[in-house]
Amino acid sequence: MKHIVKILSLLLAVSAFWIGLLQAAIIHPGYNTWLLPIYFVVSLGCYGLLMVGLGLMQFPTCPQEALLLQHDIAEAKDFFKHKGVDVGSD
């Protein structure tokens, strides 16, 4: 929840700054000028999706880590069997 509040407060501050620049006529006000922050957010979203897609396409396989994970799972099953917990069939 704290992260959402941080993002919303940053968005509010940037929007207030942008509107202040437009009202002070530092930036020429026009139809497209009001939409620039929206274009920026959409572009940032597209960039984020592109980075996630590239990361998924280049996802590395880690056979050593998979073996370690299977060893840890077997160890945990043995531990819980000794404690009397039913962990299912092997």
Owning domain of residue 65: 2-82
Is residue 39, in this structure, part of any structural domain at all? yes
CA angle 23, 24, 27 (to 5 degrees): 85
Does the pTM surpass 0.85? The reply is no
Is residue 67, in this structure, part of any structural domain at all? yes
Is residue 25, in this structure, part of any structural domain at all? yes
Structural domain tally of the chain? 1
How far apart CA 66 and CA 24 sit, in angstroms, is 59
**Average pLDDT of the chain, as a whole number:** 82
Distance between start and end Cα atoms, the chain:
41
Q: Read off the pLDDT band of 75 (50, 70, 90).
A: very high
Q: Which residue has the higher pLDDT, 87 or 27?
A: 87
